[in-house]
C-alpha cells in the first residue's frame, strides 16, 4: 500500500467504533436486527423524513429506488454523466435506459435543469440527480420540472449526508431541507471514503409509506418477515410477494453507522473549514478554477474539485503531486465516454461536461486536514503547474 503524506480521503474513527463493533460480536446477533432499526430511526430523524431503510451499498439503494418507483424496460431516466458509474448502472439494472444530461457550468457541476427539460420526452419516467461533491442541486427547479411532466425524482445523495437546499414549502415560503428528503427517494452510500462510513453500506430515505413498503420487501427477497422477526417470535412463517434481493445491512455495520452518524455534523464543519482554507490559498493561483464559489447553503463538502487551466498535462501534474506524497484523483471520467456506455447509448455529446471533465482534479479533503496540509497541497500544485 502507498503511504501518502496527504491522502485523498481519511477516516475519522477511534476506539468508540471498535467497542461498538466488538459489542455486536459479543451479542452473537450479527444480521439485520435492533441496531439496524435504531440506525434507520436516527438517520430518518436526522434527515427529517418518515422512513429510512438501511441497505448493503449506495448502488443497492439506487437499484431499489428505481425499481420501487416503477422504472422498467422502455422507460428512460435522466441523470448526469459527471458522476460515479453506479448512478447510471442502477438505472440499467431496473431495465430502464439512462439519458445523460449536461452539467450547468464550470462553476456548478450539478445537472443542468435546462438540459434536463430539453431531453424530456414521452418515454421519460424519472430524473436521478447527484449532489456532486456534497453541493445540493437546484431541487426547487428539478421538483417543478418533475411535477410538470409527471416524473419521479431520485436523489443520489452519496456525497451529501448533511447537505441542504432551499425549496418552497408550497405556500411561497422558502425552507432549508436536507438532501435526501427532497425527491421521492434519497440514496446514500456509506462506502469507506464517504463522510459517514460503515465500510460498505447505504441508506434509502422517503416520505412515502407505499414506496417504503416496496423498498422494504425488495431489500430482503420480497419476504414478508425477517429472520429477526422470527427469532423474536413475532412470526413463524413468511410469504414471498415480490422478486426481491438480498440488499440487507448487518448489525456490525449498523453499529459503526450509529457512531459515525454522531460524528457527522462536527466532521462536516471541519470539512467546511478545510474548504475555506483551500479557497483562500487557491485565490493566489488565479489560473485555477474552484467550482461552487458563492454557495451559501450547507454542503457536505465531500470533494475538493478544482479546474486546471486548459492544456495542462494532468497526468504529469498528478505524478508531480504523487512524488510529494500527495494523492489526487479525478471525479469523474464522464460515464458516456466509457466503452460500455458508448456501445449501449451511442454517440452522446455533452459539451460542458466534456470540457470540464478534461480539466478536473480532485484535491485531498478530510476532517483532520490541517491548514499546513492545505498549504502544502496548494504549494505543490503551484510548483507542478509551473513545471507542467
Ligand X SMILES: Cc1ncc(COP(=O)(O)O)c(C=O)c1O
By CB under 6 A, name the one of 158, 274, 304, 317 that touches ligand X: 158
Q: Is 299 in the site for ligand X (CB under 6 A)?
A: no
Smallest distance, ligand X to C-beta of residue 331, A: 8
Within residues 15-74, the interface with ligand X by CB under 6 A covers: 57-59
Helix crossing, 371-387 with 251-282: angle to 10°?
60
Smallest distance, ligand X to C-beta of residue 87, A: 5
Binding mask 108-147 for ligand X (x = CB under 6 A): ----------------------x-----------------
Q: Which is nearer to ligand X, 87 or 205 (CB)?
A: 87
By CB under 6 A, name the one of 32, 39, 46, 87 that touches ligand X: 87
Among 50, 119, 178, 194, the one annotated catalytic: 194
Q: Is 97 in the site for ligand X (CB under 6 A)?
A: no
**What is the residue-wise DSSP string for 228-254?**
HHHHTTS-S---B-S---B---BHHHH
Cα 200 from Cα 276, distance rounded (Å)? 29
Cα 1 from Cα 4, distance rounded (Å)? 9
Q: Is 189 in the site for ligand X (CB under 6 A)?
A: yes
Alpha helices in the chain (DSSP H): 15-27, 34-47, 58-68, 86-93, 113-118, 139-149, 209-219, 227-231, 251-282, 314-323, 339-345, 351-357, 371-387
Note if 194 is an active site residue. Answer: yes
Residues binding ligand X: number (CB under 6 A): 14
3-state secondary structure of 99: strand
Smallest distance, ligand X to C-beta of residue 283, A: 28
Cα 61 from Cα 53, distance rounded (Å)? 9
Q: Is 83 in the site for ligand X (CB under 6 A)?
A: yes
Cα 31 from Cα 289, distance rounded (Å)? 46
Smallest distance, ligand X to C-beta of residue 310, A: 26
Q: Is 327 in the site for ligand X (CB under 6 A)?
A: no
Binding mask 265-294 for ligand X (x = CB under 6 A): ------------------------------
Q: Which is nearer to ligand X, 52 or 86 (CB)?
A: 86
Instruction: Give the length of the chain.
Output: 388
By CB under 6 A, name the one of 78, 86, 275, 288 that touches ligand X: 86
Q: What is the DSSP letter of 364?
A: P
Long-range contacts of 262-268 (CB under 8 A, 24+ apart): 263/12, 263/196, 264/46, 264/161, 264/162, 264/195, 264/196, 265/162, 266/367, 267/12, 267/195, 267/367, 268/161, 268/162, 268/195, 268/298, 268/300, 268/301
Q: Is 198 in the site for ligand X (CB under 6 A)?
A: no
By CB under 6 A, name the one of 202, 257, 305, 364 that touches ligand X: 202
**Mind telling me the catalytic residues?**
194
Binding site for ligand X (CB under 6 A): 57-59, 83-84, 86-87, 130, 156, 158-159, 189, 191, 202
Amino acid at each position: 500500500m502507498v503511504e501518502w503524506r496527504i491522502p485523498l480521503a481519511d477516516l475519522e474513527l477511534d476506539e468508540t467504533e471498535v467497542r461498538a463493533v466488538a459489542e455486536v460480536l459479543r451479542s452473537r446477533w450479527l444480521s439485520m436486527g435492533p441496531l439496524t432499526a435504531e440506525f434507520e430511526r436516527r438517520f430518518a430523524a436526522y434527515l427529517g423524513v418518515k422512513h429510512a431503510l438501511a441497505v448493503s451499498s449506495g448502488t443497492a439503494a439506487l437499484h431499489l429506488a428505481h425499481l420501487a418507483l416503477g422504472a422498467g424496460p422502455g422507460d428512460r431516466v435522466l441523470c448526469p454523466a459527471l458522476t460515479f458509474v453506479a448512478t447510471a448502472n442502477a438505472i440499467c439494472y431496473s431495465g430502464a435506459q439512462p439519458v445523460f444530461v449536461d452539467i450547468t457550468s464550470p462553476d456548478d457541476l450539478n445537472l443542468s435543469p435546462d438540459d434536463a427539460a430539453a431531453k424530456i420526452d414521452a418515454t421519460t419516467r424519472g430524473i436521478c440527480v447527484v449532489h456532486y461533491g456534497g453541493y445540493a442541486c437546484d431541487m426547487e427547479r428539478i421538483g417543478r420540472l418533475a411535477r410538470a411532466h409527471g416524473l419521479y425524482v431520485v436523489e443520489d445523495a452519496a456525497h451529501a449526508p448533511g447537505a441542504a437546499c432551499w425549496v418552497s414549502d408550497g405556500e411561497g415560503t422558502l425552507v432549508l431541507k436536507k438532501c435526501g428528503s427532497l425527491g421521492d427517494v434519497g440514496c446514500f452510500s456509506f462506502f469507506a471514503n464517504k463522510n459517514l462510513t460503515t465500510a460498505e453500506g447505504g441508506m434509502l430515505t422517503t416520505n412515502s409509506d407505499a414506496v417504503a413498503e416496496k423498498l422494504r420487501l425488495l431489500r430482503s427477497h420480497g419476504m414478508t418477515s425477517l429472520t429477526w422477526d422470527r427469532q423474536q417470535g413475532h412470526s413463524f412463517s413468511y410469504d414471498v410477494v415480490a422478486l426481491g434481493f438480498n440488499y440487507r445491512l448487518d448489525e456490525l455495520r449498523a453499529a459503526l453507522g450509529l457512531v459515525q452518524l454522531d460524528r457527522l455534523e462536527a466532521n462536516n464543519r471541519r470539512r467546511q473549514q478545510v474548504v475555506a482554507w483551500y479557497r483562500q490559498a487557491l485565490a493566489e493561483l488565479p489560473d485555477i478554477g474552484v467550482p461552487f464559489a458563492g454557495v451559501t447553503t450547507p454542503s457536505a463538502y465531500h470533494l475538493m474539485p478544482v479546474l486546471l487551466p486548459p492544456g495542462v498535462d494532468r497526468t504529469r501534474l498528478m505524478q508531480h503531486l504523487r512524488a510529494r506524497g500527495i494523492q489526487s484523483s479525478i471525479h469523474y471520467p464522464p460515464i458516456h465516454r466509457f466503452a460500455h456506455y458508448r456501445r449501449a447509448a451511442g454517440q452522446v455529446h455533452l459539451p460542458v461536461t466534456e470540457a470540464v471533465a478534461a480539466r478536473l482534479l480532485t484535491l485531498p479533503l478530510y476532517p483532520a486536514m490541517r491548514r499546513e496540509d492545505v498549504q502544502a497541497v496548494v504549494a505543490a500544485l503551484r510548483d507542478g503547474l509551473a513545471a507542467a
